[in-house]
A and B are shown apart, each in its own frame.
Chain A
Amino acid sequence: NAGVTQTPKFRVLKTGQSMTLLCAQDMNHEYMYWYRQDPGMGLRLIHYSVGEGTTAKGEVPDGYNVSRLKKQNFLLGLESAAPSQTSVYFCASSKTTGAAEAFFGQGTRLTVV
């Protein structure tokens, strides 16, 4: 049972570089989310998707873009990385939000120098 898988686990970027984080889930969940975790800030929602082909902004969307071309995949892109985007990124998925829990990936630690 893979659950939610994030790729890569670690990455170091130079300021201005771009990259894509990949999230894949095998639970046939409709909802997928990208969070970032920073010290003292908890988990903050970047973008989310309520189904294939749909995306929406969360609490901290600036500097990120997302795509959900396939139901099982949710991609997070950084077009021009900045040091403020140094963080741990978590992808999650859920059947719904109302009465079901979200399942998280293991995280991606990104450092922008």
Chain B
Amino acid sequence: DQQVKQNSPSLSVQEGRISILNCDYTNSMFDYFLWYKKYPAEGPTFLISISSIKDKNEDGRFTVFLNKSAKHLSLHIVPSQPGDSAVYFCAATWFTGNQFYFGTGTSLTVIP
């Protein structure tokens, strides 16, 4: 049973516009959430994270929003750049947990 879900397999956005990637989770124990970026033939790399005590975390062009009541998080990329074209995975865990749970990924294409 998939505890972390990314329901959009792909997303296309024009360069300079906002990209919004969504993620839903089912386990209310999760209290730490991460986004990873993956280029072809490379391993995933960490992008940004958020703990459940916050509802927003920013790092440059990347912002993650967390809605605990809806069990939903989103990653906003503003402005989107062609180099952002990659597969994005969201992941979740809890502070006393011992593994990460990953979504199925969303392939983002930023069109120049």
Contact = CB atoms under 8 A, between A and B. Distances in A.
A66 interface: no
Contact of A98 (B6, B45, B95, B103): B95
Interface residues of A, number: 27
Interface of A: 4, 31, 33, 35, 40-45, 48, 50, 56, 58, 90, 92, 94, 97-99, 101-107
Contacts, number: 65
Interface residues of B, number: 28
A25 B6 CA distance: 29
Interface of B: 6, 9, 32, 34, 36, 41-46, 49, 51, 89, 91, 93-105
Contact of A33 (B36, B49, B99): B99
A16 B45 CA distance: 33
